[in-house]
Amino acid sequence: MHLNNKLKNITTILKKNKIKIAVAESCTGGLISYSLTKIPGASKYFEMGAVSYSNKSKIDFLKVKRKTLTRYGAASAETCKEMCINLLKISKTNIAISVTGIAGPDGGTKKKPIGLVYIGICSKKKIEVTKFNFNKKLSRTIIQNKTLVETIKLIKNHIKIL
């Protein structure tokens, strides 16, 4: 299914079930929020989106603990989980989504290579953080788009448990 059809499908489900979502993005820089809001009627399901690129914004706005960032780094399951849980509290939505990782073309290390992305999705019932290792040879834009596609799949699966 084409990406636009997947987006229309997921937004129809969100609207029909009166599910509100919020998104906190780092390595995707607003792509997920943009993609979810480019569909007409977005105000029925989209509450807010935040691009928290710097560690300072993760701490100040999303209330990620400085200790978490120091110990595990921004591109980590632990940071992604805190971003998600805190966004759920801040936004008071049914679902919160967080994304953090290394989209490249630089910034990668052996332990944290380019293409490493964590996607968090949570509701009052469940939190899950999924790790992706996209091919480090892919362009930044392709890594970001692959993250968008995986996020849509995770939203669809998470809606089933609400």
CA pair distance 77, 91, nearest whole angstrom: 21
> Which CATH number describes the domain made up of 3-159?
3.90.950.20
pLDDT, tens digit, for every residue of 17-40? 999 999 999 999 999 999 999 999
Q: pLDDT tens, 87-100?
A: 999 999 999 999 99
CA angle, corner 86, sides to 84 and 91, nearest 5?
95
> Which tens digits make up the pLDDT trace of 136-156?
999 999 999 999 999 999 999
Pair 46, 117: CB distance under 8 Å: no
pTM above 0.95, yes or no: yes
Q: What is the mean pLDDT of the chain?
A: 96
Residue with tokens 């636009």: 4
- Is the preceding peptide bond at 40 cis, omega within 30 degrees of 0? no
- What's the first-to-final CA gap in the chain, in angstroms? 24
